[in-house]
């Protein structure tokens, strides 16, 4: 029912309003930014590729009715729905809040507090910065446009700035990740070597504390010594028993 209510609110919007002519609203877009992609109609996709380096304008230059008209024109392509657009704007904008903004008309100052208004304007401003139209929006065409931007095809000097910035950012990020990985790998090798050394020392200590295992020859020699001492003791006691007088003299 909430989705139906949003779709009905979109159908009631007047799309014949002039959306091309900027209007100074005297307000700024705020700190909160669009969370999802402005190219892919999926609520879980973040800003895609160059979207992340595009910096939207600070001053909002479309009024409330213009933004609502842009929403209806954009959604008429059928690739996006009102609900996917809402979730792309921000996860904390509820269906009721988005529907309430779509139903309003005129320049009621209370709409300044609407996050749906500010983020919807930023959504279309980001697309404008990347040269993406809101009329007959097609995800495949948008991706092809972004690929051309990445290949620097048919770009003016101002349009090359985001591409160069993005390339430098990705290069620095790759180098940073490589250095962090190498540092972690070196630390892991040090910990592994230390653990191996500790284990070797413990094994040596245990080996020194254990009784030494004798060989078969040593066992045979020990047994023969035991037999010899027994025979000597037996001979001595036999001599004492049978010759007591000689034993006293010897003592």
Tens digit of each residue's pLDDT (9 = 90 or more) over 18-38: 888 888 888 887 778 888 888
Q: Which of 117-121, 196-200, 205-209 has the lowest mean pLDDT?
A: 205-209
Q: With a cut of 70, say whether residue 248 has pLDDT above it.
A: no
Give me the chain's average pLDDT, please. 75
pLDDT at position 172, please? 64
Does the pLDDT value for residue 240 go beyond 50?
Answer: no
Strand ranges (E), the chain: none
Q: Phi and psi dihedrals of 232, rounded to 5?
A: -65, -45
Interval 140-163: pLDDT, tens: 888 787 777 766 655 555 555 555
Q: Is the pLDDT of residue 218 over 80?
A: no
Smallest CA-to-CA distance from 45 within 121, 135, 125, 142 is with 142
Q: Which of 10-24, 199-213, 217-231 reaches the highest mean pLDDT? A: 10-24
Q: Is the pTM of this model over 0.85?
A: no
Which sequence spans correspond to the domains of the chain? 2-154
Q: Which residues contact 119 (CB under 8 A, 6 or more apart)?
A: 32, 33, 34, 89, 90, 93
* Strand intervals (E) in 82-237: none
φ and ψ of 28, to 5 deg: -110, 160
Query: In this predicted structure, what is the pLDDT of residue 67?
Result: 92
């Amino acid at each position: 029912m909430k989705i139906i209510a949003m779709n009905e609110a979109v159908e009631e919007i007047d799309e014949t309003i002039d959306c091309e002519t900027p209007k100074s609203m005297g307000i700024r877009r705020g700190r909160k930014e669009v969370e999802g992609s402005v190219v892919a109609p999926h609520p879980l996709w973040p800003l895609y590729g160059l979207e992340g380096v595009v910096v939207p304008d600070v001053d909002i230059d479309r009024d409330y009715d213009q933004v609502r008209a842009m929403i209806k024109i954009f959604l008429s392509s059928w690739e996006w729905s009102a609900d996917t657009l809402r979730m792309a704007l921000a996860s904390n904008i509820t269906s009721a809040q988005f529907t309430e903004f779509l139903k309003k008309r005129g320049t009621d100052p209370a709409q300044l507090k609407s996050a749906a208004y500010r983020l919807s304007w930023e959504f279309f401003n980001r697309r404008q910065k990347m040269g993406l139209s809101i009329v007959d929006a097609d995800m495949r065409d948008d991706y092809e446009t972004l690929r051309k931007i990445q290949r620097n095809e048919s770009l003016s000097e101002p349009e090359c700035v985001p591409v160069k910035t993005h390339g430098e950012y990705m290069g620095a990020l790759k180098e940073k990740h490589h250095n962090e990985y190498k540092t972690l790998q070196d630390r892991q090798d040090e910990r592994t070597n230390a653990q191996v050394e500790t284990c070797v020392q413990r094994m040596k200590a245990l080996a020194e504390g254990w009784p030494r295992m004798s060989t078969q020859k040593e066992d045979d020699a020990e047994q023969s010594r035991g037999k010899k001492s027994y025979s000597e003791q037996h001979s001595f006691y036999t001599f004492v028993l049978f010759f007591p007088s000689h034993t006293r003299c010897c003592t």
